[in-house]
Amino acid sequence: MTAQEGNSKKSRRVLGDEWIDWDGSIEESLVNTQKKLFLWVSVLGVFATIAAVFLFTWLIHPRLIELSPVAGEIVIYIVFAFAALLVLWVCLFIISLLFELRLLAPILLVPRVINFMLNMAVKIGGLLGIPRDRMVNSFLKVHNLVLRLKDIHLDPQELLV
C-alpha cells in the first residue's frame, strides 16, 4: 500500500474544517434564548443530584444501621440537611436573579457553583435534546445578570472575550 492510498482512506482533520460549509447565517433560536432555560434545567439538575444522594443513602443505610443505629441516623440527618440547604440556596439564587436583589448576590452567587451548574445543565440539556449553544447562551444571560448584581466593574483590558 502506498502513502497516497493511506491518505485517501484516512483524511487529515484540519482545524477550521467544521466551518467550510457555513454560509454566515446564524440560527435565531440558538442566539435568542431566555435566562429561564438555564435556570429550569439547573433546577432539574439540582433535584436529580438530590435524588441521587437520597438513592445512595437508601442503598447504604441498612449497612450503616448494622454498624451502629446512631451512625445510620446521623447520616440521614446530614443528607436531609444537605438537601434542605441545596434547595434553599437554589430558591434564593433564583429569587435574587428574578428580582435582581443585590443584597443576596454576594452570599449566593459563587462562581465555582455557577460553573458547576453550567456543566450539569449542558449535560442534562443534551439528554433532553437541547442544543449546547442554546444552553450556553442562556447561561451567558444569567452570568451577565450575576455580574451586574455583584456590582463588578472591570476595565476593558481586564475582560476576557
Residue pLDDT, tens place only, 94-152: 888 888 877 666 666 666 777 888 899 999 999 999 988 889 888 888 887 877 777 76
**Domain-wise residue ranges, the chain:** 34-150
Chain centroid offset of residue 105 CA = 18
Residue the block writes with cell 447520616 = 75
* Interval 41-64 mean pLDDT: 95
Chain centroid offset of residue 23 CA = 31
Which pTM was predicted? 0.72
pLDDT for res 66: 93
pLDDT for res 145: 80
Q: Residue 132: which H helix or E strand, with range?
A: helix 132-149
> Could you tell me the pLDDT band of residue 9, with boundaries at 50, 70 and 90?
low
Non-local CB neighbours of 75 within 8 Å, separated by 6+ positions: 57, 60, 61, 64
At residue 11, φ and ψ (nearest 5 deg) are -80, 145
C-alpha–C-alpha distance, residues 89 and 56, integer Å: 22
